Amino acid sequence: MGSAFNGASLQRVAHGSLLRIKNDKPKRKEMTTMKTLITSQNSLLTILRSRSASILVALTLGAFALASVPTAFGVVPAPDGSYPNGNTAEGGNALLDLTTGESNTAVGLDALSSDTTGSNNTAIGFAVLLNNTTSSNNTGNGFQALEFNMTGSNNTANGAAALQNNTAGSFNTGNGVDALFGNTIGNFNTADGFLTLSANTTGNFNTANGTAALQNNTIGSNNTAAGTQALSKNITGINNTADGVNALFGNTTGNNNTATGEAALFRNTTGSSNIALGFNAGSSLTTGNNNIHIGNAGVAAEGNTIRVGRQGAQTRTFIAGISGVAVAGSAVVANVNGQLGIAASSERFKDDIKPMNKVSEALFAFKPVTFRYKKEIDPARTLQFGLVAEDVEKVNPALVARDKEGKAYTVRYDQVNAMLLNEFLKEHRKNEEQEKTIAELKSGMTTLAAVVKEQGSQIQKVSAQLATAGPSPGGLEPSRLATNRIRTGGPALQMVSNP
């Protein structure tokens, strides 16, 4: 040790000897007096009778003398581990190399034995803070806690081998056997529980609460794990939050995941930006990204998917902020598996495209009805207009949707609308053809009327000429051929005068 430490040792030895001398003197005197009294040739009874007064006086004076001796400490034996500058050491090699460090406490073999200038350190246990040299404000409590720390400051380690391999990391807290065991230069980590963050080396800002939480994390940062084995296999993943036993248990390199609930995102390994809420939520996911699973296990490797509840477990859904709120957009539909979406119309999503033709004529067999839903469905009992699924099924089974038991459940009204459109277009084409025919007939009638009118005018002229002509040889004389032409609608022959 240094001279200051040796001087303190001598002072401690001298102080102890002085204390023994002070306490021994009265005791020796008392023992001598008693020996003289006991070894006297007179009987004890005679002595006591003859000298009772003097003995009483002597005993009283002795008691006052003993009471007047000053006591240096309130406990016996007196403490012997206090040294200059507020340092305390108890145990072989404790604070062995201390030079100017202040306010250190070392209890145990080799505790803080390498510390030279570090201050405000507390080491309780074998080899606790053994290699600490100049760092300050560290607390180690337990076998080999913070054993290899050299320059790291403001660390707290409670438990055997807690933060044992830390060298330069600072502001770390490890509570539990092997907590933050492998941390070397990682900072601002908190580990509470057996094996928590035990493999962490350089990861920062991690928080682990629960046995083996974040056990295998090495360089991953900004992770929070609360629960036994939460994020237990994480190695390099960052910004993950796991709350619950085995939450994100298998995650290794996935980032930005949030899992709340026992075994939530249990099998996720490399998937990122997933959110799982509830027991076993997202537990089937492995590598998918951007999923949100609430009370649903999900599907391995799927991505960009939202799942709420389990098919068959929840039978009703209430979501506020929808009913009575006006919004523009497309109608949302649900398939038999409960998936929501917009019915696609693009040919990119279709096969076997062909004209509907006469398929839509099934509409003519439908029987539209009015009805009211049962009270448990519609307490207001509003009058409704539509079709009965069982009736439609008899006409065309493809026009009904079915429940999980395969029974007709509802009419696919969107398909009925398409069939109505087809029938409308068919009728429209018929009307166009009829209108064209009518137009042609009208045009022909107009032409015919003009011809008839012209023929009537010619007949009138001929009739007028006949009426004014005489029977003389020099008058006009229509031939039989001209008369026949007029009767048959042909043009009348030119008539000439006979000279």
pLDDT digits (tens, 9 = 90+) for 348-357: 999 999 999 9
**What is the mean pLDDT of the segment spanning 394-408?**
93
Q: pLDDT value at position 245?
A: 98
Is a pLDDT exceeding 70 seen at residue 99?
Answer: yes
Which of 70-79, 180-189, 217-226 is the least confident region? Answer: 70-79
Closest CA to 304 of 315, 290, 292: 290
**What is the mean pLDDT of the segment spanning 239-262?**
98
pTM over 0.85: no
Closest CA to 256 of 243, 235, 237: 237
Spatial distance between the Cα atoms of 423 and 411, rounded to a whole number of angstroms:
19
Q: pLDDT value at position 75?
A: 60
Is a pLDDT exceeding 80 seen at residue 70?
Answer: no
Is a pLDDT exceeding 60 seen at residue 40?
Answer: no
Q: pLDDT value at position 74?
A: 63
Q: Are 169 and 185 in contact (CB under 8 A)?
A: yes
Q: Which two tokens stand for residue 86?
A: 């507020």
Is a pLDDT exceeding 70 seen at residue 10?
Answer: no
| Banded pLDDT at 15 (limits 50, 70, 90) | very low
**What is the mean pLDDT of the segment spanning 260-272?**
98
Q: Which two tokens stand for residue 11?
A: 């002072």
Mean pLDDT over each residue of the chain, to the nearest integer: 83
Strands 207-209 and 190-192, sheet pairing = parallel
Q: pLDDT value at position 182?
A: 97
Is a pLDDT exceeding 70 seen at residue 56?
Answer: no
Q: pLDDT value at position 227?
A: 98
Q: pLDDT value at position 454?
A: 87
Closest CA to 256 of 216, 214, 211, 290: 290
Domain-by-domain residue ranges, the chain? 3-68, 356-468, 470-499
Spatial distance between the Cα atoms of 368 and 371, rounded to a whole number of angstroms:
10
Share above pLDDT 90 across residues of the chain, in percent, rounded to a whole number: 68
* CA of residue 174 relative to chain centroid, distance: 26
Q: Looking up tokens 């023994």, which residue turns up?
A: 20
Bridge partners (DSSP) listed for residue 123 = 106, 140
* Burial environment of residue 450 by CB neighbours within 10 A (0 to 12, 13 to 18, 19 or more): exposed
Q: pLDDT value at position 248?
A: 98
| Banded pLDDT at 497 (limits 50, 70, 90) | very low
Q: What is the pLDDT of residues 433-491, one digit of tens each?
A: 999 999 989 888 988 888 898 888 888 888 888 888 655 555 445 555 455 555 555 55
Q: pLDDT value at position 311?
A: 86
CA 197 vs CA 247, 447, 477, 485: distances in Å: 15, 103, 135, 121
Closest CA to 231 of 204, 201, 253: 253
Q: Are 367 and 391 in contact (CB under 8 A)?
A: yes
393 or 472, greater pLDDT: 393
Is a pLDDT exceeding 50 seen at residue 138?
Answer: yes
Is a pLDDT exceeding 80 seen at residue 42?
Answer: no
